[in-house]
Chain A
């Protein structure tokens, strides 16, 4: 199977280890990978900040870039949510017929990582080893737009050595919300404080998620507060083996 990675702008810039983990995980599962060097951003930041025109031009660019690819895998639930939930409205309003057609053809070929593993490859056990206590943060867009359901838990359940801790109030937002985190920095911080309390209460060493944006928020507070926890993207846990443990643990 041939897959093109959309690694997303902030993973490319800030969290390349997540991208590298996706590569090693998928190649281990026999997937042939492409990476389009011209990829940039899905437009979520602009769309959520009220810059509709700009968001549309990024949407148009992404649709054109990937029109000839077979399958696209994205290790970020909010970027996939942007494409599934917001592109239709943007393209309907600002696009033309040919773009609408291209998008309609592309949409079913785009997968969030856990969707791809479970729905497309049909695997739950990827042969990972991660001997740590971990709690899973269900990011809002993964829960309410992508309806990921128990997919991440099924993947985590098969990781050797992993001790999964249940996160109280798992579906409550961490307060990131993109530019919300700076436009309403104090409210966002208050939400983060409440979330961090729940996360720390699990006694886990690592908090994982399918979205580095929530993890950047949580991880930033953990580091500031010497909380004794780290964040790690789920892809990095799944790519972790006895021979090559996840970078975050080194």
Chain B
């Protein structure tokens, strides 16, 4: 049992280890690192090619950003409009303040329908509210239908990416999982054989289970419609065959007008999977007699989103359309994959979204899980300035931690406080440089380099040397050198 638990990352931010700790086992796992780097390099290259062919890409980004910003600024009004239109079209809209409420609403609907089995389209929001374990505990069998989600469910794995949740698993590992769980002894790792196995497994579910749960890529206020984009068509099966459909959507997913999809679908497909258009774009509005599900519920989930909305710098987080371009471009994610983030939302967007969804009570190590290189902001199709939000959240974490007396002598905090004193007065900085040069000389080897330092410095020297301090600082040199060496310049200078 302990073995299973150890291999099973905790994607609940309340219980997850800090990012630096959770990253350690991944950094030592060659298979995982190769799988992650290979997968995101492939998606990145496809994205770059398709973005380059769009001469108006920056204009598209600006348009997408403006649409999302407008929707978020007027979220209340658009959500009400959505509710009115969706209800008029025969849908039933539920409002859930938090994860527990959303789970209960969904369970109540399932009970009402006497549903013991349910099929699911890939939805990260359902992972956010930990819906599957809750339903299983309540006696409802949950069957994922997205290929990646099937792999994770059968392999008892956790998602490590929001678009390609099983990206950390390669095909020979998929073969192992399918062969073991589907009882297919002679299954090969040929992609066609693997998808055929999944297809056989799925067809029977589609044809026998009349209740489905989906997420939503977009909610359209103007029409009360819901949009789901996917690559496999399994989602479309879930959207058309069942009798009852329950859609779980974060409140930020709303778009004002139907025509906004023109922009959003262009940037989403290119950013997410490096495709000109998603293979399956499903749009439906309420209920149509004789066509598709006859009972349609939408559960609108807040779960911390309103609190994000109330903060001016952080609000832009809600513009996110979950394309994952930020994680695909992130040099940190490239090394660690998703599990180290301890959240269903990994990568740069997870580093800002997760602590905020936790109202800054958990996941405080995530805003620091970035080198601030800015690659995420550069590729974000809705121009979320992720580094800016990371810095804002870092300052909130520091403000929390500073109140903690135990932090007073934390070397990092102490060092930064002392540095601040020094930077305020040049003479103090210069004295500190003088003393520092003497102090550091005890750690400097004959080759002029420092190979090992104590405390925080040891974090540096565990993998890197540091050149010893030079004999003379620049300002000492400047003061000593006198007038400029070129007589013409020194004359002018006087």
Contacts and interface: CB of A to CB of B under 8 A. Distances in A.
Interface of A: 7, 9, 11-17, 19-20, 23-24, 27-28, 30, 32-33, 35, 37-41, 43, 45-52, 54, 57-58, 61, 86, 89, 140-141, 144-145, 171-173, 175-192, 194, 216-217, 219-221, 223-224
Interface residues of B, number: 70
B346 to A, nearest CB: 13
The 6 closest A-B pairs by CB, nearest first: A177-B371, A220-B464, A50-B394, A50-B398, A173-B373, A19-B474
A144 B375 contact: yes
Interface in B418-468: 419-420, 422-426, 429, 433, 436, 449, 451, 456-457, 459-460, 462-467
Contacts of A30: 489
Nearest to A11: B474
B310 interface: no
B370 interface: yes
B464 A189 contact: yes
A140 B388 contact: no
B9 to A, nearest CB: 16
B177 to A, nearest CB: 27
A140 B369 CA distance: 16
A49 B393 CA distance: 10
Contacts of A190: 27, 335-336
Contacts of B449: 223
Contacts of B492: 32
Given A45-B416, A187-B27, A141 B374 contact: yes
B336 A182 contact: no
A48 B474 contact: no
Interface centre among A11, A23, A43, A188 (most CB of B within 10 A): A188
Interface centre among B336, B368, B417 (most CB of A within 10 A): B368
A9 B464 contact: no
A14 B331 CA distance: 27
Q: Classify the interface of chain B: helix, strand, loop or mixed.
A: helix
Contact of A45 (B27, B373, B419, B466): B419
Contact of B477 (A20, A141, A182): A20
A40 B422 contact: yes
Q: Classify the interface of chain A: helix, strand, loop or mixed.
A: helix
B191 to A, nearest CB: 28
B493 A186 contact: no
Interface stretch (B17-25, B256-264, B265-273, B275-283): B17-25
Nearest to A144: B374
Interface stretch (B148-156, B178-186, B226-234, B478-486): B478-486
Contact of B466 (A54, A183, A191, A220): A220
A35 B420 CA distance: 22
Contacts of B371: 140, 173, 175-177, 180, 188, 191
A12 B474 contact: yes
Contacts of A177: 370-373
A185 B460 contact: yes
12 contacts: A7-B474, A12-B473, A40-B424, A40-B429, A41-B429, A50-B368, A50-B397, A54-B420, A144-B373, A179-B412, A183-B459, A220-B467
Contacts of A184: 19-20, 23, 332, 368-369
Contact of B423 (A15, A43, A183): A43
Nearest to B24: A186
B398 A49 contact: yes
B469 to A, nearest CB: 7
A205 B325 CA distance: 35
A46 B402 CA distance: 14
Nearest to B471: A16
A220 B450 CA distance: 9
A189 B478 CA distance: 35
A51 B377 CA distance: 22
Contacts of A51: 395, 398, 416, 420
A221 B457 CA distance: 15
Interface centre among B23, B398, B479 (most CB of A within 10 A): B398
A141 B451 CA distance: 28
Interface in B217-249: none
B424 A187 contact: no
B378 interface: yes
A216 to B, nearest CB: 7
B416 A54 contact: yes
A57 B420 contact: yes
Interface in B371-403: 371-375, 377-378, 388, 391, 394-399
A91 to B, nearest CB: 15
A224 B463 contact: yes
Contacts of A24: 485
B290 interface: no
B19 A52 contact: no
A9 B429 contact: yes
Contacts of B378: 144
Nearest to B478: A35
Contacts of A35: 475, 478
B411 to A, nearest CB: 9
A173 B375 contact: yes
Given A40-B422, A49-B394, A32 B375 contact: no
A43 B466 CA distance: 22
Given A173-B371, A192-B463, A16 B489 contact: no
Contacts of A45: 416, 419
Nearest to A182: B459
Contact of B485 (A27, A54, A188): A27
B472 interface: yes
A144 B35 CA distance: 28
B419 A187 contact: no
Interface centre among A16, A187, A224 (most CB of B within 10 A): A187
A86 B391 contact: yes
Given A40-B422, A40-B423, A50-B397, A185 B467 contact: no
B289 interface: no
B34 to A, nearest CB: 12
A172 B23 contact: no
A12 B420 contact: no
A185 B391 contact: no
A19 B470 CA distance: 13
Given A20-B477, A194-B331, A221-B463, 17 more contacts: A12-B474, A20-B474, A27-B484, A27-B486, A35-B475, A37-B475, A40-B422, A58-B423, A140-B372, A173-B331, A177-B371, A178-B372, A182-B412, A187-B369, A189-B463, A190-B335, A220-B465
B429 A191 contact: no
A222 B291 CA distance: 66
